[in-house]
A and B are shown apart, each in its own frame.
Chain A
């Protein structure tokens, strides 16, 4: 293999350099465990570093060949404070890329800053988790539907380090199944799909000896070339997440045709390396979940959830074989109070960064946080470096658009699924922007109606028909006004009636007299208002057919007033003479009947005028 020959040159380099290395530190023991059971390679190094020099050392260098380093998705160093087997709280130490002088360019160095300097003779235990993507090379590169997928992994049997290593072991965990070959060493053995190398003792710095493992791995190699996650916040109570996946099977390419018959019917030729479902672990209380692509909804999905988690299982439209692609969109809503908080007057969104899909590698992840319109002072705190930008999105009922925080990161693994925070200022009054827009929209509609009803659209302002129409409108308006006044009169009558009833209950003659006086004054006022209107109607030629009715109405009303007052004075008189209730009733019985008859006539007339 070409890669191996490249390493021969690399080793030469190293032998030259080995004499000029840091010699203050020595790795007294390192156990490396590499997990190859999925398509994401996870390497855990437990190392014990000892200071044999005289100076205090505050950083430990880790070396990776460039070929590995370019696939390094995440590196995390944990430092155990406790001694021996009792492990106290482990602290994560900052691990950054450095370029120390005098080191070969084929290596990439990471520096771990120790929490306190390592004195002479002191030791420190570190746990380093390194996660690599795209490190399992399919070999052969093309397989048929019936074949299993074989992959090659290569590493060094000795830990590549700028320090001398005293004791070291390497364990490689395989997914089980066929192991085609692995590099043999005197003390290498394969037990239960785990290959162990070592222990090796006393190797100088930059020792390297390639180890190649060729084995079967049919894990779904789901790789998202691009994933756009849009997190849209609405302060009306929802966090809407939309994820656009551009997924590919990153394993060995498929060759030959695809036989649906074989795939469905014959288990032995099923296509062991393909996958036909994907699992998403969504936050609890996720709702309104959808799964679709360009041509519409995809109905093959299953969903279940309880109070702690929500699980979504989706099936693509076709099984995904090596090199095949699919793209789809899933979306879901989350309750606002689970993710949005108020801290020191600022709003804080606290939500996970990566994809909720199981064991997926995302080559390029774009997280867009769409904040509500009117938010400002946006800042983000992400636990790992990302490229940040801002843009504007226009959505429902927007005027100036919503500010969008764009976070970009490449080579994302499930370990990046950490919480990140977005802080912003938001005034709750901005929430009213949307209803105000809707209200003004409706109001404009009404205003248009009002304007239309108030505009005189006729072209010829002097034609006979136009004038007639104007006059008719005037007559109508006058009739309406007369009706209004009559109605007011009737209301005054009712009040007078009520005062009589009060009288019979309380016997308070004085207040009844006052009520009569005010009623009298009100009625006089109303009659005064009525007079000019009646005169106008009398002289208007357009009103000739209504006039008799109106005249009758006015007359009847007058009649009613008289009868009303007559009855009132009768009753009051009776009370002053202290007559019995039966007596009074007898006296006003006839008046009462007449009054009711007149009232009926007035009502009929009003109804008649209403219908004109």
Chain B
């Protein structure tokens, strides 16, 4: 998949003489890639969403079983934050894996 940038270098150096060409190659354009390899998106999405749903389940079980007085707000917020981080990244990668490039 990785293509050498030589084609584009030639494109830019075309009107220049050969002494300039060395300089051009030194500052040759580097291809920009995605922060995470595109092939990983489906698996990442599945893993993160499963993790997210696990934490969501944990959150709701905690909400339903602990009594009003014993419930700790900090614990709730922390679980909610972890669950939403997992769900957020999971759904982002789900969008990317299905071809909706946000």
Residues of A within 8 A of B (CB): 91-92, 232, 234-238, 240, 285, 288, 333, 335-338, 340-344, 347-348, 350, 395-397, 419, 428, 431, 434-436, 438-443, 445-447, 449-450, 453-454, 473-474, 476-477, 480-481
Nearest neighbor of B39 in chain A, beta-carbon distance: A237
Q: B1-39 interface mask toward A, CB cutoff 8 Å, 1 = contact, 0 = none? A: 111010010010001000000000001011111111110
Contacts of B29 in A (CB 8 A): 341-343, 348, 350
Contact B69 A474 (CB under 8 A): yes
Within 8 A of A (CB), among B45-72: 52, 59-60, 63, 66-71
Residues of chain B within 8 A of A445, CB atoms compared: 84
Q: A436 CB to closest chain B CB, in angstroms?
A: 8
CB distance B32 to A347 under 8 Å?
Answer: yes
CB <8 Å contact, A336 and B76: no
- The answer to whether A337 and B3 touch across the interface, beta carbons within 8 angstroms, is yes
**B contacts with A, residue count (CB < 8 A):** 47
A-B contact count (CB 8 A): 135
A338 B67 Cβ-Cβ under 8 A: no
CA distance A438 to B88 in the complex (A): 5
Which 10 A-B pairs give the minimum distances between C-beta atoms?
Answer: A237-B34, A439-B88, A341-B29, A446-B80, A234-B101, A442-B84, A477-B69, A438-B88, A443-B84, A337-B31
Contacting residues, chain A, for B101 (C-beta < 8 A)? 232, 234, 236-238, 240, 333
For B32, list chain A residues within 8 Å (CB): 235, 336-337, 340-342, 347
Name the residue among B32, B35, B60 with the largest chain A CB count within 10 angstroms. B32
Is B102's CB under 8 angstroms from A439's CB? Answer: no
Taking CB as reference atom, which chain B residue is nearest A338? B3
Query: What is the distance, in angstroms, from B63's C-beta to the closest C-beta of chain A?
Result: 5
Would you give the shortest CB distance from A550 to chain B, in whole angstroms? 15
> Beyond the given A350-B11, A450-B63, A474-B69, could you list 16 further A-B residue pairs with CB under 8 A, ordered by the A residue number?
A92-B15, A236-B34, A236-B96, A237-B33, A238-B38, A337-B31, A337-B33, A341-B31, A396-B100, A435-B88, A439-B89, A442-B52, A445-B84, A450-B77, A450-B80, A477-B70
**Least CB distance, A376 to chain B, in whole angstroms:** 17
Using a CB–CB distance below 8 Å, which chain B residues touch chain A?
Answer: 1-3, 5, 8, 11, 15, 27, 29-38, 52, 59-60, 63, 66-71, 73, 76-77, 80-81, 83-85, 87-89, 91-92, 95-96, 99-102
A401 to B71, CA, bound (A): 42
Asked whether, in the complex, the Cβ of A434 is within 8 Å of the Cβ of B92, the reply is yes
B62 nearest in chain A by CB position:
A453
8 intermolecular pairs with C-beta atoms under 8 Å apart:
A235-B34, A438-B91, A439-B85, A442-B87, A445-B84, A450-B63, A454-B71, A473-B69
Across-interface contacts of B102 in A (CB, < 8 A): 234, 236, 395-397, 434
Q: In the assembly, what is the distance between CA of A342 and CA of B3, in Å?
A: 15
Identify the interface centre among B5, B15, B36, B68: most chain A CB within 10 Å of its CB. Answer: B68
Complex Cα spacing A480 to B1, Å: 59
Contacts of B77 in A (CB 8 A): 450
Q: How far is the CB of B81 from chain A (nearest CB, A)?
A: 6
Instruction: Please tell me if the beta carbons of A336 and B88 are within 8 angstroms of each other in the complex.
Output: no
Closest to B3 in A: A338
Q: Do residues B81 and A443 form an inter-chain contact, with CB atoms below 8 A?
A: yes
Q: Taking CB as reference atom, which chain A residue is nearest B5?
A: A341
**A480 to B66, Cβ gap below 8 A?**
yes
Q: Identify B67's interface contact among A235, A336, A435, A477, CB under 8 A.
A: A477
Contact B8 A336 (CB under 8 A): no
Determine how close the nearest CB of chain B comes to the CB of A297; give it in whole angstroms: 15
- Verify B76–A450 contact, CB threshold 8 A: yes
Task: Collect the chain A residues with CB atoms within 8 Å of residue B100's CB.
Answer: 396
Q: A434-B102, A435-B92 are in contact. Are A341 and B30 (CB under 8 A)?
A: yes
Cβ contacts under 8 Å, B27 to chain A: 343-344
A-chain residues with CB within 8 Å of residue B67 when the two chains form the complex = 473, 476-477, 480
Instruction: Evaluate contact between B70 and A481: CB separation under 8 angstroms.
Output: yes
Contacts of A450 in B (CB 8 A): 63, 73, 76-77, 80
B70 lies within 8 A of A480 (CB): yes
CB A596 to nearest CB in B, in angstroms, measures: 30
Closest CB of chain A to B54's CB: distance in Å? 14
